[in-house]
Amino acid sequence: MHIQELETLKTTINENDEIIHQLELQLQKLEESIKKYERFLDETKTEIENLDKDMTKQNVYKTFFTKQIPEIVKNTNKQKEELNKIIIETHVLQKGLNRLTEKLDRTFHVTDSQLFKVKYILS
């Protein structure tokens, strides 16, 4: 009878060994899966950190340019005012030039007519 019990125990041990082997294989697969997900997690963390750095840079640039906008508008308004002053001065100078041109034209006609009179008298 002991032999039969021993055989039964041996069979049970073999079955248990097979179950243990199957469990070890499953454990290995799970460990590989965990390592894979840990690598994925590390890569994702690195990507997120890089994105954060990039966004911080973009925010710095955005802030810099946003602060520059009022100054640019202010300078543009100053230039516009100066251009308006120059346009007004140009109009004033143009009017003066027109008056002088008209006066010169009248003087030329008067002089021309007097020269013809003198030439007529002398001939």
pLDDT in tens, 82-96: 999 999 999 999 999
Both tokens assigned to 63:
């802030």
Helix (H, G, I), strand (E, B) or coil at 112: helix
Q: What is the pLDDT of residue 76?
A: 94
Residue type, 67: K
Q: Which residues contact 96 (CB under 8 A, 6 or more apart)?
A: none
Q: Which pLDDT value is given to residue 117? A: 87
Query: Could you say which residues of the chain have pLDDT below 70?
Result: 1
Integer Cα distance of 42 and 4 in angstroms: 56
Q: So what's the pLDDT on residue 67?
A: 85
pLDDT score, position 53: 83
- Distance between CA atoms of residues 122 and 117, nearest Å: 9
**pLDDT score, position 80:** 95
Residue 1: the pLDDT is 59
3 state SS of 49: helix
Cα–Cα distances (Å) from 81 to 14, 51, 68, 104, 113, in that order, read: 99, 45, 20, 34, 48
Q: Would you state the structure tokens that stand for residue 3, as one six-digit string? A: 């032999």
pLDDT for 74 equals 93
Q: Is the pTM of this model over 0.75?
A: no
**E strand spans, the chain:** none
